[in-house]
Amino acid sequence: MSQNYRTWPILIFLTFMSLILFLLYFYFLLDTVTNQAPGTIWPSEFTLEHWRFLIEPIEGRQSIWRVTLNTIIFASSVTLIVVFLSSTAAYALSRLNFPFRSAFLGGILVLHAFPSVTLLIAIFIILQLFGLYDTLQGVILVITALELPLGIWLMKGFYDTVPWESEMAAMTDGASRFRVWWQIMLPQVRPGLFALGIFAFLSGWGSYLFPLVLAPSADVQVLSVYLSSLIDSLGRTDFSLFKAVGLFYMLPVVIFYLFTQDKLMNVFGGAAKG
């Protein structure tokens, strides 16, 4: 009991500090559905005009739904490819003995540590060479490639925790190597697959710089690029609209995160217990 009372001052302090954050979010939300006179804090009227972009495209721009679809395709493709390639590559790196294995492992680590922004111009030129510039496929490939080192390294960690005997048992039971991987190994690294999938989806959804540079035109825009394009260089930015689109962009991720955060924690926990 007394223990509980003693923590009250701390709790009150933390609550108060968090209130400031809540206040920010509250205004963020409020601004998207109200208007206010310039220079005042309190809103003067309720309005849904800032959400008009949901119904009709903003003049001179792509429909928000098309952009959202682009983003979903983009993030899901990245997720699927990263999860598939990481789970196969990491299995090989964890279990098979092939030439240059350790060099490969080291290479992956270096790639993971490499600041990818420095590759921007090189990637730009390569994509143009292959005719993939300003296409969704192109930028999907690039983000996938950048996410793979982390994915492979992560999955290798999960495979490493699965005992060898599990695999030997399956082989003596008569399972082929592929079946061992598919039916015995994959189920045992499922927490890793989930975590990596969520991780890859979030970073696909959130990536901005590469899509901006590599896929800028209206047809292949993703939400992050669309959002930034709302900031008018001439200073006539509609900030309420910007906030509304921002909220629209953010909401799916927040909901997604709420439902999957326990699985995402496995990235840091690492243990694969069935």
Give the footprint of other proteins on this chain (CB under 8 A). Answer: 163, 165-166, 168-176, 179, 184, 187-188, 190, 273-274
Nearest-approach distance from CB 231 to other proteins, in angstroms: 50
Indicate the residue among 33 and 196 with the shorter CB distance to other proteins.
196
Nearer to other proteins, 38 or 99 (CB): 99
| Selection from 112, 254, 113, 256 nearest residue 194 by Cα | 256
Distance of CA 174 to the CA centre of its chain: 40
Whichever of 6 and 273 has its CB closer to other proteins, that residue is 273
The minimum distance between CB 244 and other proteins, in angstroms, equals 45
CA of 97: how far to CAs of 54, 76, 100, 216, in Å?
54, 32, 9, 43
Spatial distance between the Cα atoms of 175 and 131, rounded to a whole number of angstroms: 44
Helix (H) or strand (E) holding 155: helix 136-161
Least Cα distance to 28 among 249, 222, 234 occurs for 249
* Vertex 36 angle, CA 31 and 42, to 5°: 80
Min CB(192)–other proteins separation in Å: 13
Distance CA 156, CA 200 (A): 16
Could you give the CA distance from residue 90 to residue 112 in angstroms, rounded to a whole number?
A: 14
Phi, psi (deg, nearest 5) at residue 232? -80, 130
Smallest gap, in angstroms, from Cβ of residue 184 to other proteins?
6
Q: Which of residues 175 and 202 has its CB atom nearest to other proteins in the complex?
A: 175
How near is the Cβ of 120 to other proteins at its closest, in Å?
A: 43
The Cα–Cα gap between 194 and 83 comes to 9
Whole-number minimum distance, CB 189 to other proteins, in Å? 10
The distance from CA 56 to its chain's CA centroid, rounded to whole angstroms, is: 28
Measured from the CB atom, the residue of 137 and 161 that comes closer to other proteins is: 161
Least distance from other proteins to the Cβ atom of residue 87, Å: 15
Listed in sequence order, the residues at least 6 apart from 262 whose beta carbon sits closer than 8 Å to its beta carbon are none
